[in-house]
Amino acid sequence: MIAGKFWSAIRAQLNKLANFFWKQDPIAQMQYEYDRSVAQLKEGREGLEQYRGLVERVARQVNETEKRVQMMTSKIKNYLQMGDRKTAGELAIQLEDSKRDLEENRQQLEMHEKAYQNNVEKIKFSTKNLVAIREKIKKYEAELKMSHSEAEIAKLTQTFNFNLTTDFGELEQVVQDKIDVNRGKVRVAADLSEEGLEQIRAEKALQESMAEDLLIKFEKENVMLIEQQK
Protein backbone atom coordinates (compact mmCIF):
# COMPACT_ATOMS: atom_id res chain seq x y z
CA MET A 1 0.00 0.00 0.00
CA ILE A 2 2.74 2.45 1.04
CA ALA A 3 4.91 1.52 -1.97
CA GLY A 4 1.95 2.03 -4.29
CA LYS A 5 1.29 5.51 -2.91
CA PHE A 6 5.00 6.31 -3.17
CA TRP A 7 5.20 5.38 -6.88
CA SER A 8 1.94 7.22 -7.56
CA ALA A 9 3.47 10.35 -6.05
CA ILE A 10 6.64 9.87 -8.12
CA ARG A 11 4.61 9.50 -11.32
CA ALA A 12 2.61 12.61 -10.47
CA GLN A 13 5.81 14.63 -10.02
CA LEU A 14 7.24 13.29 -13.28
CA ASN A 15 4.03 14.23 -15.08
CA LYS A 16 4.27 17.75 -13.66
CA LEU A 17 7.88 17.97 -14.83
CA ALA A 18 6.95 16.72 -18.30
CA ASN A 19 4.08 19.20 -18.53
CA PHE A 20 6.47 21.98 -17.52
CA PHE A 21 8.86 21.21 -20.38
CA TRP A 22 5.99 20.79 -22.80
CA LYS A 23 4.72 24.26 -21.95
CA GLN A 24 8.19 25.80 -22.11
CA ASP A 25 8.78 24.82 -25.75
CA PRO A 26 5.73 23.13 -27.30
CA ILE A 27 7.13 23.41 -30.84
CA ALA A 28 10.22 21.43 -29.83
CA GLN A 29 8.00 18.79 -28.24
CA MET A 30 5.87 18.61 -31.39
CA GLN A 31 9.02 18.22 -33.48
CA TYR A 32 10.22 15.48 -31.12
CA GLU A 33 6.95 13.58 -31.45
CA TYR A 34 7.09 14.02 -35.22
CA ASP A 35 10.67 12.72 -35.43
CA ARG A 36 9.78 9.77 -33.23
CA SER A 37 6.80 8.94 -35.44
CA VAL A 38 8.99 9.16 -38.54
CA ALA A 39 11.48 6.76 -36.94
CA GLN A 40 8.68 4.33 -36.06
CA LEU A 41 7.30 4.60 -39.58
CA LYS A 42 10.74 3.86 -40.98
CA GLU A 43 10.99 0.75 -38.80
CA GLY A 44 7.51 -0.28 -39.90
CA ARG A 45 8.46 0.11 -43.54
CA GLU A 46 11.58 -1.99 -43.08
CA GLY A 47 9.48 -4.67 -41.38
CA LEU A 48 6.98 -4.49 -44.23
CA GLU A 49 9.77 -5.02 -46.74
CA GLN A 50 10.77 -8.19 -44.91
CA TYR A 51 7.13 -9.29 -44.79
CA ARG A 52 6.88 -8.74 -48.54
CA GLY A 53 9.77 -11.16 -48.91
CA LEU A 54 7.67 -13.78 -47.09
CA VAL A 55 4.73 -13.11 -49.41
CA GLU A 56 6.94 -13.51 -52.45
CA ARG A 57 8.27 -16.83 -51.11
CA VAL A 58 4.73 -18.16 -50.58
CA ALA A 59 3.79 -16.96 -54.07
CA ARG A 60 6.76 -18.84 -55.49
CA GLN A 61 5.66 -22.00 -53.64
CA VAL A 62 2.17 -21.65 -55.10
CA ASN A 63 3.62 -21.25 -58.57
CA GLU A 64 5.87 -24.29 -58.18
CA THR A 65 3.02 -26.41 -56.80
CA GLU A 66 0.77 -25.40 -59.71
CA LYS A 67 3.45 -26.52 -62.16
CA ARG A 68 3.86 -29.81 -60.30
CA VAL A 69 0.10 -30.43 -60.37
CA GLN A 70 0.00 -29.75 -64.10
CA MET A 71 2.97 -32.05 -64.73
CA MET A 72 1.51 -34.90 -62.63
CA THR A 73 -1.88 -34.51 -64.30
CA SER A 74 -0.21 -34.81 -67.69
CA LYS A 75 1.73 -37.92 -66.58
CA ILE A 76 -1.39 -39.61 -65.23
CA LYS A 77 -3.12 -39.10 -68.57
CA ASN A 78 -0.16 -40.58 -70.41
CA TYR A 79 0.00 -43.66 -68.16
CA LEU A 80 -3.73 -44.20 -68.56
CA GLN A 81 -3.35 -44.07 -72.31
CA MET A 82 -0.57 -46.67 -72.05
CA GLY A 83 -2.80 -48.85 -69.85
CA ASP A 84 -0.52 -48.55 -66.81
CA ARG A 85 -3.20 -47.94 -64.20
CA LYS A 86 -0.95 -48.91 -61.30
CA THR A 87 1.56 -46.16 -61.94
CA ALA A 88 -1.28 -43.78 -62.79
CA GLY A 89 -2.90 -44.62 -59.43
CA GLU A 90 0.31 -43.95 -57.52
CA LEU A 91 0.64 -40.61 -59.27
CA ALA A 92 -3.00 -39.84 -58.53
CA ILE A 93 -2.30 -40.18 -54.80
CA GLN A 94 0.67 -37.82 -55.12
CA LEU A 95 -1.48 -35.46 -57.18
CA GLU A 96 -4.07 -35.33 -54.43
CA ASP A 97 -1.41 -34.42 -51.88
CA SER A 98 -0.05 -31.75 -54.21
CA LYS A 99 -3.52 -30.30 -54.73
CA ARG A 100 -4.00 -30.18 -50.97
CA ASP A 101 -0.67 -28.37 -50.59
CA LEU A 102 -1.62 -26.01 -53.40
CA GLU A 103 -4.90 -25.09 -51.73
CA GLU A 104 -3.19 -24.45 -48.41
CA ASN A 105 -0.49 -22.35 -50.08
CA ARG A 106 -3.10 -20.35 -51.96
CA GLN A 107 -4.96 -19.64 -48.74
CA GLN A 108 -1.71 -18.61 -47.06
CA LEU A 109 -0.82 -16.40 -50.01
CA GLU A 110 -4.23 -14.74 -49.99
CA MET A 111 -4.01 -14.10 -46.25
CA HIS A 112 -0.46 -12.72 -46.41
CA GLU A 113 -1.21 -10.62 -49.49
CA LYS A 114 -4.24 -9.10 -47.79
CA ALA A 115 -2.25 -8.36 -44.63
CA TYR A 116 0.52 -6.82 -46.72
CA GLN A 117 -1.88 -4.57 -48.62
CA ASN A 118 -3.54 -3.48 -45.36
CA ASN A 119 -0.16 -2.55 -43.89
CA VAL A 120 0.81 -0.69 -47.07
CA GLU A 121 -2.42 1.29 -46.82
CA LYS A 122 -1.73 2.09 -43.16
CA ILE A 123 1.81 3.26 -43.92
CA LYS A 124 0.59 5.44 -46.79
CA PHE A 125 -2.06 6.94 -44.54
CA SER A 126 0.46 7.52 -41.74
CA THR A 127 2.91 9.11 -44.18
CA LYS A 128 0.20 11.45 -45.42
CA ASN A 129 -0.68 12.39 -41.84
CA LEU A 130 2.97 13.00 -40.99
CA VAL A 131 3.31 15.36 -43.96
CA ALA A 132 0.26 17.27 -42.71
CA ILE A 133 1.69 17.34 -39.17
CA ARG A 134 5.03 18.62 -40.46
CA GLU A 135 3.30 21.49 -42.28
CA LYS A 136 1.22 22.20 -39.18
CA ILE A 137 4.37 22.37 -37.05
CA LYS A 138 5.88 24.91 -39.46
CA LYS A 139 2.66 26.92 -39.36
CA TYR A 140 2.48 26.88 -35.56
CA GLU A 141 6.16 27.79 -35.29
CA ALA A 142 5.68 30.79 -37.59
CA GLU A 143 2.51 31.88 -35.78
CA LEU A 144 4.18 31.48 -32.39
CA LYS A 145 7.14 33.63 -33.46
CA MET A 146 4.81 36.23 -34.95
CA SER A 147 2.60 36.36 -31.86
CA HIS A 148 5.71 36.67 -29.67
CA SER A 149 6.93 39.60 -31.76
CA GLU A 150 3.50 41.21 -31.60
CA ALA A 151 3.47 40.82 -27.83
CA GLU A 152 6.91 42.45 -27.56
CA ILE A 153 5.80 45.32 -29.79
CA ALA A 154 2.64 45.76 -27.73
CA LYS A 155 4.71 45.83 -24.55
CA LEU A 156 7.07 48.38 -26.10
CA THR A 157 4.13 50.53 -27.22
CA GLN A 158 2.69 50.54 -23.71
CA THR A 159 6.02 51.62 -22.27
CA PHE A 160 6.41 54.32 -24.93
CA ASN A 161 2.94 55.72 -24.31
CA PHE A 162 3.48 55.68 -20.57
CA ASN A 163 6.67 57.82 -20.77
CA LEU A 164 5.60 59.97 -23.69
CA THR A 165 5.02 63.15 -21.63
CA THR A 166 8.10 62.68 -19.48
CA ASP A 167 11.02 60.93 -21.15
CA PHE A 168 10.19 62.14 -24.65
CA GLY A 169 9.72 65.70 -23.41
CA GLU A 170 13.11 65.62 -21.69
CA LEU A 171 14.76 64.22 -24.81
CA GLU A 172 13.08 66.88 -26.91
CA GLN A 173 14.53 69.57 -24.67
CA VAL A 174 18.02 68.04 -25.01
CA VAL A 175 17.68 68.06 -28.79
CA GLN A 176 16.49 71.67 -28.77
CA ASP A 177 19.45 72.67 -26.59
CA LYS A 178 21.85 71.06 -29.07
CA ILE A 179 20.15 72.89 -31.93
CA ASP A 180 20.56 76.21 -30.07
CA VAL A 181 24.24 75.50 -29.42
CA ASN A 182 24.83 74.66 -33.09
CA ARG A 183 23.05 77.83 -34.20
CA GLY A 184 25.17 79.82 -31.78
CA LYS A 185 28.32 78.38 -33.34
CA VAL A 186 27.09 79.37 -36.79
CA ARG A 187 26.35 82.93 -35.62
CA VAL A 188 29.77 83.29 -34.01
CA ALA A 189 31.43 82.04 -37.19
CA ALA A 190 29.43 84.55 -39.23
CA ASP A 191 30.34 87.41 -36.92
CA LEU A 192 34.01 86.46 -36.96
CA SER A 193 33.98 86.29 -40.75
CA GLU A 194 33.27 90.07 -40.86
CA GLU A 195 36.35 90.96 -38.82
CA GLY A 196 38.95 92.90 -40.97
CA LEU A 197 36.49 93.24 -43.82
CA GLU A 198 36.42 97.09 -43.54
CA GLN A 199 40.20 97.22 -43.58
CA ILE A 200 40.29 95.04 -46.68
CA ARG A 201 37.75 97.26 -48.36
CA ALA A 202 39.74 100.43 -47.44
CA GLU A 203 42.96 98.95 -48.80
CA LYS A 204 41.19 97.96 -51.98
CA ALA A 205 39.77 101.51 -52.40
CA LEU A 206 43.23 102.97 -51.78
CA GLN A 207 44.75 100.72 -54.41
CA GLU A 208 42.08 101.75 -56.88
CA SER A 209 42.67 105.45 -56.11
CA MET A 210 46.41 105.08 -56.50
CA ALA A 211 45.89 103.26 -59.78
CA GLU A 212 43.71 106.09 -61.04
CA ASP A 213 46.27 108.74 -60.01
CA LEU A 214 49.05 106.84 -61.71
CA LEU A 215 46.95 106.45 -64.82
CA ILE A 216 46.25 110.23 -64.92
CA LYS A 217 49.94 110.97 -64.42
CA PHE A 218 50.78 108.54 -67.21
CA GLU A 219 48.32 110.23 -69.55
CA LYS A 220 49.72 113.71 -68.75
CA GLU A 221 53.26 112.58 -69.33
CA ASN A 222 52.35 111.07 -72.66
CA VAL A 223 50.51 114.23 -73.79
CA MET A 224 53.55 116.36 -72.97
CA LEU A 225 55.76 113.92 -74.87
CA ILE A 226 53.61 114.17 -77.96
CA GLU A 227 53.59 117.98 -77.88
CA GLN A 228 57.36 118.08 -77.61
CA GLN A 229 57.69 115.82 -80.63
CA LYS A 230 55.59 118.23 -82.69
pLDDT digits (tens, 9 = 90+) for 58-107: 899 999 989 999 998 898 899 889 988 888 888 888 889 888 988 998 99
Domain boundaries along the sequence of the chain: 2-162, 170-229
Query: pLDDT band for position 159 (50/70/90)?
Result: low
Instruction: Report d(CA 50, CA 57) in Å as an integer.
Output: 11
Residues 113-150: pLDDT tens digits? Answer: 898 888 888 888 888 887 888 888 787 777 777 776 66
Which pTM value belongs to this model? 0.48
Mean pLDDT of 186-199: 64
Instruction: Report whether 44 contacts 123 (CB < 8 A).
Output: yes
pLDDT value, residue 78? 92
Look at the alpha carbons of 77, 79, 83, 89 in this order and tell me if their dihedral is positive or negative: negative
**For 222, which DSSP code?**
H
Please give the class, per CATH, of domain 2-162.
mainly alpha
Which amino acid is it at 110?
E
Give which of 143, 138, 73, 141 is closest to 102, Cα–Cα: 73
Q: Could you say which DSSP state residue 1 is in?
A: -
